[in-house]
Amino acid sequence: MAHIDDTGTQKANLNYIQSAMDAPMLEKEHEFDLARRWRDDQDEKALHELVEAYARLVIAMASKFRNYGLPMGDLIQEGNIGLMQAANRFDPERDVRFSTYATWWIRAAMQDYILRNWSIVRTGTTAAQKSLFFNLRRLRAKIESKKEREGLSPDDKTKIAKKLKVKVKDVDAMEGRLSGIDQSLNATIGEDGSDDWQSLLSDDGPNPEDVVIGMKDAQTRSQWLNDALGDLSDRERMIIRERHLGDEVVTLEELGKELGVSKERVRQLEARAMDKLKSSLSSHGNGVTDFI
């Protein structure tokens, strides 16, 4: 869904854009001098002049992303954050113009903002998904213009996936996301509007009765296991707890050293204790021994 600025905001945006475009360009040496003054002396006047001179980069980048349905003013503000980050990290000693360095930071700031706000559903997190999100429209339009038809064929999707180094299924999923819009679960459906989308969604989870039964069964089985452990000797109980009921399994050799017996003897004691547990638990019905 597109976000439209009100009249007052649009006027303020136009004034800012005009001011940014009227700012004088900087000569290379003066630009580097401003960067050094900010880096070495934290000269805020130097920072202000540097940022003001290159605000036009933010305007240009925001124009490229205006078709994502987000307010132009917000894009500009996010781009300005990227511009400030660039100013803080810029090293004039590398002999690279600030405009070249700042462009990456401005674009990254705007892209992150778009991914966070374009949809209420998280769109992409990895670098590959971000590349797919911002390039799929362009590649799709290029393909469709050549073939004079809408829609991507399986071969088209394969080519796009290969070019952007993603899976074909990711191209399918992203195409679906870009083609659709967010819709409220409370949106009414039907001729009389008596139903909404959420009333038709199925819940695959267990119902409350199953949850309660499961909890009761778990409590019962836990009690049976505790009772069965009570029938073991102290040494057997220790072996079972260390080998089967702890977060980390203790080796037979480690238990042998602790108990002062051989590894083989520990294995024999473990096998005997397991037989006792199974025999005790089997009295409660079939299948009860599956959880030990």
**Residue 119: φ, ψ to 5°:** -145, 155
Query: What Rg value do the Cα atoms of the chain yield, rounded?
Result: 33
- The C-alpha atoms of residue 231 and residue 242 are separated, in whole angstroms, by 17
Tokens 């080796």, residue located: 251
Which of 37-46, 134-143, 225-234 ranks highest by mean pLDDT? 37-46
Please give the pLDDT value at position 111: 86
Please give the pLDDT value at position 173: 72
Please give the pLDDT value at position 188: 66
- The C-alpha atoms of residue 140 and residue 152 are separated, in whole angstroms, by 7
Q: Is the pLDDT of residue 134 over 60?
A: yes
Residue 280 tokens, joined:
């005790």
Where are the alpha helices (H) located in 4-126, listed in sequence order? 7-22, 28-41, 44-53, 55-64, 72-89, 98-117
Task: Return mean pLDDT, the chain.
Answer: 80
Q: Is the pLDDT of residue 218 over 90?
A: no
Chain centroid to Cα 259, Å, comes to 49
Which of 2-6, 18-22, 206-210 ranks highest by mean pLDDT? 18-22
**Residue 175: φ, ψ to 5°:** -60, -40
Percent of the chain with pLDDT over 70: 75
Contact 66, 110 (CB under 8 A): no
Q: How confident is the model at residue 159 (pLDDT cuts 50, 70, 90)?
A: confident
Percent of the chain with pLDDT over 90: 27
Please give the pLDDT value at position 177: 64
Please give the pLDDT value at position 187: 62
Please give the pLDDT value at position 2: 47
- The C-alpha atoms of residue 159 and residue 63 are separated, in whole angstroms, by 28
Lowest mean pLDDT among 10-14, 81-85, 246-250: 246-250
Q: How confident is the model at residue 189 (pLDDT cuts 50, 70, 90)?
A: low
Please give the pLDDT value at position 163: 81
Q: Is the pLDDT of residue 220 over 70?
A: yes
Q: What is the largest CA-CA distance in the chain?
A: 90
Please give the pLDDT value at position 8: 78
Contact 28, 97 (CB under 8 A): yes
Residue 200 tokens, joined:
């038709």
Please give the pLDDT value at position 158: 85
